[in-house]
Structure 1
């Protein structure tokens, strides 16, 4: 287990609390973990992601995808077609979170039934819902 205290590594002091805050910030946001979960399964197009995440708005999905891309956790590929096709996929850096995703899955399988259910509607309702 890694201590949250300052550690010395080759003369450089590392404050693990600050480092973990940076790590948490990469994945904080109402939708980022859900987006990462989906992209960990396969490549998605924008419209597919929007349909797969009930309650997310187009604006919020765009903002979250841009942040994840800027942080190097997902990649965006634009195909020169008419109409343009855009695909999103998880990067090798983000695949390093696979063990974390597996641990969360195992935890949920063990304890998820004990967590009280909450309404699933988040954000605005999608048009036509």
Structure 2
């Protein structure tokens, strides 16, 4: 894959990865954090859907490929240091987290413990077959 010129402006880490914050355009909620390599970013731009690099699986991961909860990408922004990406998305089905919740950020530090403060919208066993 030949990288387009604009991709050369990105400060990729030593592993060729870029951290990505995914924000719901309508609500402003931060839905998830992920990683992209050059191919994932190119596919995201091409499809206008979230495609990420799964470090645990060592492969591309098209968000929603199993669950159907895809992310329509409305805006792609690079931070001032050019080393973090922000995607503004429309989240299909309202579920971004593999736990069946709206956001992956559902643990809140309350006193001296982590509380789950967002409900499960759909049981993950019903999402992933």
TM-score bracket for the superposition, by shorter chain length: under 0.3
More strand by share: 2
More helix by share: 1
Bigger relative contact order, structure 1 or 2 (CA pairs below 8 A, ≥6 apart): 1
